[in-house]
Amino acid sequence: MAAKLILLVCCFGVASAVVQNYCKVTGTACTTSATCASGQTCVNRDNKNKVCCATANLGCQDLNVAGTTSNTCASNKASGLCSDPNYTSLITTQCPATCGLCSGSPTCADVNVSECLKNVALCSNSAYNSVMSVQCRKTCGYCTSG
């Protein structure tokens, strides 16, 4: 029986494209990397806005997709899909943070501070642990320091 990859959704809106890389700081609005200064890339700031971002300010997160459950990446990891070569492409796109595919250790920052503050009650809801630990690390107290 083939395993089924389920995509991730959260309380933060739908991503229009792959959101593996996001910018941890506010930058100049952009539509493509061609409009950014040298050494910068046009990436998502918060699933709604794209900004020019220096490589040092890039972060890594799981992708949010409409019509799925919030614990999907955790379920995929528990099912062994993170290391299944048949799912490498999908896991790399959908669940890089949960599956440990991000370089370096996670930064202590929220992906979208205003949304995290509005949804702070979800920090203690076990159904949202995997998503809040990526989206709202600082607000929810998931950081070891910072």
User: Is 108 contained in some domain?
Assistant: yes
User: Is 47 contained in some domain?
Assistant: yes
Cα separation of 84 and 42, whole Å? 31
User: Is 75 contained in some domain?
Assistant: yes
Rounded mean pLDDT of 116-123?
89
| Model pTM score | 0.39
Rounded mean pLDDT of 38-54?
73
Chain-wide mean pLDDT for the chain? 69
The model's pLDDT over 92-112, given as tens digits with 9 standing for 90+, comes to 777 877 787 776 555 677 777
Cβ burial, residue 37 (10 Å; 0-12/13-18/19+): exposed
For 2-37, give the DSSP string: ---------TT---SS--SEEESS---B-SSGGGSP
Cα separation of 90 and 143, whole Å? 27
Question: Quick one: CA dihedral 51, 97, 144, 9, positive or negative?
Answer: positive
The model's pLDDT over 49-85, given as tens digits with 9 standing for 90+, comes to 778 877 666 667 777 555 555 568 888 888 888 888 8
User: Is 7 contained in some domain?
Assistant: no
> Is residue 13 predicted with pLDDT exceeding 50?
no
User: Is 43 contained in some domain?
Assistant: yes
> Is residue 123 predicted with pLDDT exceeding 80?
yes
> Is residue 120 predicted with pLDDT exceeding 60?
yes
User: Is 107 contained in some domain?
Assistant: yes
Domain that holds residue 122: 21-140
- Indicate the pLDDT class of residue 121, thresholds 50, 70 and 90: very high
Could you tell me how many residues make up the chain?
146
User: Is 9 contained in some domain?
Assistant: no
What's the farthest any 2 CA atoms get from each other in the chain?
Answer: 49
User: Is 52 contained in some domain?
Assistant: yes
The SS3 of residue 36 is coil
What are 127's two structure tokens? 């159904």
Cα separation of 98 and 8, whole Å? 11
Residue type at 32?
T
Number of domain units in the chain: 1
Rounded mean pLDDT of 121-143?
79
